[in-house]
Chain A
């Protein structure tokens, strides 16, 4: 993930901070982190088990929830995976899945940075 994308997450964090305050921001980022952890694991598991339905659903959830925390490029990657999977090309997505997992590690770092910066108290 580029620094630009990390900046996007920080920018979104500031947007939520201004809109709803630090408490809501931390809650939202916490909810997202827990949900995205599950979804990324589900995406990998569904891919390995060739479960196209679960795979598509996991990508779908990542696509929209990630946009809410500003992870725009991660959301776009999840969208590409979802569309390819809907088009019956799940088997060709090994590289994309690995890339998404790598990107997610960067998203988590950015989320943690935002949570540390705006931690209450």
Chain B
């Protein structure tokens, strides 16, 4: 089925809906087309969806989870495994999704989620802004000064133009370098030249396939424009890619890889350290992954729309409240990030009713079960944030989640400075999530007190050929070896039990 009531032009988002329910696909296609101005095609099973994606380039996919034969998780795995679609934004359509499925979906990176059955007005409201933002990133209009550019320069952010006909590569570029640079996009050489004239970027990264006005011609033309003397132009090529780029035309080459850290390293090499280092555990860089992970994980687990909101959650000091936390431990960085959750008891009951399909009285009498569910959710959120850190080359270990009830007065001690966001959902659910960054300290421990899971803060040479490197996690075998070595004590990091 193809619905395209909206006038189709270059700026129209092309969306593929994969849903085995024809009724749901029809209503969603209608809303996306008529109310949100997209071009929509719909298929009714996962295999047809994958076939369609192999034939046609889409900007976004709406993907149902529960489908016969090939379910949504399997489809998403295939999408992520195929280079052409590896970074294609995918919106999950779900209902009563279990934690195992949510964990898989979050690991496979999703753009957003829709809860079935959906309310048409809410869906339109939720996606009008999100699709507009996506459109502005994917369908770059020429001859338009993009908002934020002047303020970016004032903030000292350099302006980068990426020219590539592959919208997925541009999307990846923005996702990977968008926090560090103000990134503009062009789909072909002609657009690239126009944007350089209008925005005078500091750096230009050009793929080998840029359609109209090829790369070499574009670069040569730009070299002769007096106002662009300071522009540095880099070629972006895949390994082994046969390209005819003349080295004298370019200031360097960047490897075209879809692995964030490898790509950042390649860009850094080209820039020769002239640009700011990537964020290293900075709290600000955690805000967006924390917010989107919280919205998506809680939303799918509770089958409701969870949104970040302006009003801070206030807890009654006299009433018991629920506090949760999970640590991310960076031994190399010597840092610990703690993600904290808090809400009042009524909220936990409301969450349990949704997550565990319980009646209110049953949920209120089974707070332990509710807390276990919260711990599970925190674990998935921690995993998602950890993945984000991994993408910028920071190796953190995920700790075990802790959830407990205490009075707000006691809990206040746990409140900390850091990035914080409050969220709301249906049924009066209001909670907040924050992240703080602490130094990870080390301490000396007598060998008799060493426990499994502890991590060495320094390399240790026990003699006799036995050496243990910094960051080594101690297991029973190693502890026995240390015991036999006769060493009195060793230095370990502050103990955090990790998964």
Give chain A's interface residues, CB within 8 Å of chain B.
19-20, 24, 27-28, 31-32, 34-36, 54, 57, 60-61, 63-69, 75, 79, 82-83, 86
User: Contact flags (1/0) for B267-301 with A, using CB distance below 8 Å?
Assistant: 00000000000000000000000000000000000
Chain B positions 106 through 146: 1 when the CB is less than 8 Å from some CB of chain A, otherwise 0: 00000000001100100000000000000000000000000
Chain B residues, CB < 8 A from A82: 96
Q: How far is the CA of A28 from the CA of B27 in the complex (A)?
A: 8
Classify chain B: how many residues form its interface, as a range.
10 to 19
B23, B66, B117: which contacts A28 (Cβ < 8 A)? B23
Q: Is the CB of B21 within 8 A of A61?
A: yes
Q: A31 to B117, Cβ gap below 8 A?
A: no
Q: For chain B residues 40-95, which have a beta carbon within 8 Å of chain A? A: 66-68, 95
Name A's interface SS. Answer: helix
Residues of A within 8 A of B21 (CB): 35, 61, 64-65
Instruction: Report the Cα distance A98→B258, complex, angstroms.
Output: 53
Which positions 20-50 of chain B face chain A at CB distance < 8 Å? 20-24, 26-27, 30, 34
Q: Are A83 and B26 in contact (CB under 8 A)?
A: no
Instruction: Point out residues on B near A: beta carbons under 8 Å.
Output: 20-24, 26-27, 30, 34, 66-68, 95-96, 116-117, 120, 357
**For residue B66, which residues in chain A have a CB less than 8 angstroms away from its CB?**
57, 60
19 contacts between A and B (CB under 8 A): A20-B34, A27-B26, A28-B23, A28-B26, A31-B23, A34-B22, A54-B68, A57-B67, A57-B68, A60-B95, A61-B20, A63-B116, A64-B24, A67-B116, A68-B23, A68-B27, A75-B117, A83-B96, A86-B96
Residues of A with C-beta under 8 A to B26: 27-28, 31
Compute how far the CA of A36 lies from the CA of B24 in the bound complex, rounded to whole angstroms.
12
What number of A-B contacts does a CB cutoff of 8 Å give? Answer: 52
State the CA gap A83–B354 with chains docked (Å): 12
What are the residues of chain B within 8 A of A34 when measuring CB–CB?
Answer: 22
Max chain A CB contacts within 10 Å: which of B24, B27, B66?
A: B27
| A68 pairs with B95, CB closer than 8 A | no
A79 to B120, CA, bound (A): 20
In whole angstroms, how far apart are the Cα atoms of A30 and B27 in the complex?
13
Known: A63-B95, A63-B117, A67-B117. A35 touches B68 (CB 8 A): no
In the A-B complex, list the 10 residue pairs whose CB atoms are closest, starting with the nearest.
A67-B117, A65-B23, A64-B116, A32-B23, A65-B21, A64-B117, A68-B27, A61-B21, A31-B22, A60-B66
Complex CA distance for A36 and B23, rounded to whole angstroms: 9
Most B-side CB within 10 Å, residue of A20, A54, A68, A82: A68
B144 CB to closest chain A CB (Å) equals: 32
Residue in A24, A69, A79 whose CB lies within 8 Å of B23: A69
Cα distance A20–B23 when bound, in Å? 15
